[in-house]
Amino acid sequence: MNHQASVRDASDLVWFKSSYSSGNNGESCVELALTPRTVHGRDSKDVTGPSLTFAPPAWAHFIPYACGE
């Protein structure tokens, strides 16, 4: 997992809300952007803030734990 310090690094990505994102009023939203070599994640309430970058195998390993499975 890498932390992206610069928003410019992820500015040309196409972001979408994760199907794993939930909340009573839609307030808990994670957005993802996918490339062949990375999975980027960010808080949809702070799109100018930092994002996280995962290698696809690390993301696949992370999801079951994040979802409580």
Q: Would you state the pLDDT for residue 4?
A: 44
Domain limits, the chain: 2-66
Judged by DSSP in three states, 6 sits in coil
CA neighbor of 42 nearest in space, from 65, 66, 17: 17
How many degrees, rounded to 5, is the angle at CA 67 between CA 25 and CA 49? Answer: 60
Residue-level pLDDT, tens digit, the chain, 69 residues: 454 433 345 568 999 886 666 666 656 688 889 999 999 998 888 888 898 999 999 988 887 666 655
Rounded distance between C-alpha atoms, residue 56 and residue 19, angstroms: 17
Strands (E), 1-69: 2-4, 16-17, 30-34, 39-43, 51-54
